[in-house]
A and B are shown apart, each in its own frame.
Chain A
């Protein structure tokens, strides 16, 4: 299981990477993609959608499970990874790189304070097993 440093994590297994320019990228973690199994479908929001911390921004579906996607941050959606609509299994093979889901312009940095770093997330995941 791989949890890169430099990313922040949620209890619902999303990750976010915050850039200097107030933009953040969001996706799901290695643990999430492994639990789901091969992903067959994903639903992502429209550009411009306003997100609150922990509001749902989409759905990811495998043959045995469906998961809502919860936003780790508050802001507006600026980019959506449309490649995932044709190749949803990219999320499985590259959850942190090519499997990125949305880019968000942060409204504030408040929500980031509640997120976990890589070490804390790893501990959290180990505790679940």
Chain B
């Protein structure tokens, strides 16, 4: 039997040794009759590796999986994954190990988590980062929950209309038992959030204001303006900036430079494949003064008994396994292995490599946008600056989208998928795309 070494004779003799005549006896003495399942599971018999390889290859082949011809984004991105990321992360010492509760025999894991925290802290220019959370959407939900802990009496959350609709849905699902009110702030024609409207909507009952940058429409928000609005307020709401496309951190001044309270989001772009949406890597950073309010795990640097530098999980008393019902959240895990891939990725790309990749994304996106606007009946939906995603408006989007698919190209994501304008298409380009790929994209959306 697969993966069960104690079978046949070995199993039988062990059974006798512990005093049972049969497996049935082992179970029936512990499971009372009414709780016993007596039938046979309606599952096929166990399959061999060869059969499974065929079965799954068949399924894999039914999926369109050509990143060069795929221009989808919206929170999940196709980026270059250096070969050493797969190679190093596939080591069993990283893949099969347990959570590093026993520090003495988990220094490898603790070290790479510490590096992840360091990198995210630097990239966002925020004082503290945690060991990662499930994904960007749940990281955002955790940010709202943290703001609620800090301002337990308040109930309003101001959230930009340009914040990822699925992130917003997850945040609402995760917090509606607290009776929070999510008030949407509209966008301007530039595609940026109307910060003047945000300023007007602020009151003593606001616990957080939330923006995403670049936002869901790809447009870069004005974070310095946001901090100017919040600065003069006494006991201001927490400012939360969401980063869905982590690559953008390489090009734009980070939110930490604008006195933002929480920066959270997704680092799948760093070293992880889209994988049909998961697993991802949520990240969470905040100010030092809020460190004991921060959800999730953290790794701290310390010394061992011989004065050697060592690492351990710390501030664990806020977590569920000790605090139980008073815990800061119920989270029991980070996304250790995916965060490791991001860490190896960042170590490999280095500052220059990451910036170079970001610049290619930017140039590719602007080239594609310019060329697309040269096509009849296609125009840019928003005037604001964008990084690697932008929205175009096409009068007969359905037809043109279908044409592109017929040509073997997925030209982007129709915003109707997210309940928005049915004539709008969100197009994403990355450093994977060549000029040829981009020209093909433009051609595929031609009339």
Chain A directly contacts chain B within the complex, with at least one CB pair under 8 Å = yes
Interface residues in chain A, defined as those with a beta carbon under 8 Å from any beta carbon in chain B: 41, 61-66, 68
Any A CB within 8 A of the CB of B376: no
Q: How far is the CA of A63 from the CA of B322 in the complex (A)?
A: 10
A68→B326 contact, CB < 8 A: yes
> Can you pick out 16 interface pairs between chain A and chain B where the beta carbons lie within 8 Å of each other?
A41-B292, A61-B317, A62-B317, A63-B314, A63-B316, A63-B317, A64-B317, A64-B322, A65-B317, A65-B322, A66-B317, A66-B318, A66-B322, A66-B323, A66-B326, A68-B326
Residues of B within 8 A of A61 (CB): 317
Of A41, A63, A68, which is in contact with the most chain B CB atoms at under 10 Å from its CB? A63
Q: How far is the CA of A64 from the CA of B317 in the complex (A)?
A: 7
Chain B residues with CB under 8 A of A68: 326
Q: How far is the CA of A66 from the CA of B320 in the complex (A)?
A: 11
- Set of chain B residues within 8 Å of A65, measured between Cβ atoms: 317, 322
> A66's closest neighbor in chain B, by CB?
B317
Residues on B with C-beta less than 8 A from A62 are 317
What 10 A-B pairs have minimum CB-CB distances, sorted nearest first?
Answer: A66-B317, A61-B317, A66-B323, A66-B322, A65-B322, A65-B317, A63-B317, A64-B322, A41-B292, A63-B316
Who on chain A is nearest to B318 by CB?
A: A66
> Shortest distance in angstroms between B381's beta carbon and chain A's nearest beta carbon?
49
Residues of B within 8 A of A64 (CB): 317, 322
Q: How far is the CA of A66 from the CA of B321 in the complex (A)?
A: 11
How far apart sit A51 and B251, CA to CA, in the bound complex (Å)?
51
Q: Which residues of B contact A66 (CB under 8 A)?
A: 317-318, 322-323, 326
How far apart are the CA atoms of A41 and B314 in the complex, in Å?
Answer: 12
Question: What is the CA–CA distance of A80 and B316 in the complex, to the nearest angstrom?
Answer: 26
Q: Which of B320-374 touch A at CB < 8 Å?
A: 322-323, 326
Q: How far is the CA of A79 from the CA of B227 in the complex (A)?
A: 35
Residues from 76 to 124 in B contacting A, C-beta threshold 8 Å: none
Q: What 5 additional pairs, Cβ within 8 angstroms, besides A64-B322, A65-B322?
A: A62-B317, A63-B314, A63-B316, A65-B317, A66-B317
Query: Which chain A residue has the least Cβ–Cβ distance from B327?
Result: A66
- Cα A61 to Cα B323 with chains together (Å): 10
A20: shortest Cβ distance to chain B, in Å? 37
A68 to B327, CA, bound (A): 12
Within 8 A of A (CB), among B289-329: 292, 314, 316-318, 322-323, 326
Task: Give Cα distance in the complex from A64 to B326, angstroms.
Answer: 15
* Cα distance A62–B315 in the bound complex, in angstroms: 9
Query: Shortest Cβ distance from B133 into chain A, in angstroms?
Result: 21
Residue of chain B at shortest CB distance from A41: B292
Residues of B within 8 A of A41 (CB): 292
Report chain A residues within 8 Å CB of B326. Answer: 66, 68
Identify the closest chain B residue to A43 (Cβ): B292
**Cα A9 to Cα B75 with chains together (Å):** 56
B135-168 interface mask toward A, CB cutoff 8 Å, 1 = contact, 0 = none? Answer: 0000000000000000000000000000000000
Contacts of B318 in A (CB 8 A): 66
Q: Which residue of A lies closest to B319 (CB)?
A: A66
Please give me the residue from chain A that is nearest to B312 by CB atom. A63
Interface centre among B314, B317, B323, B326 (most CB of A within 10 A): B317
CA A78 to CA B423, docked complex, whole Å? 64
Q: Which parts of B358-416 form the interface with A (CB within 8 Å)?
A: none
Q: How far is the CB of B11 from chain A (nearest CB, A)?
A: 40
A69 to chain B, nearest CB (A): 13
How long is the Cα–Cα vector from A41 to B316 in the complex, in angstroms? Answer: 12
**C-alpha spacing A41/B317, complex, angstroms:** 11
Bound Cα distance A51, B9 (Å): 69
Distance of A68 Cα from B323 Cα, bound (Å)? 10
User: Chain A's nearest CB lies how many Å from the CB of B149?
Assistant: 13
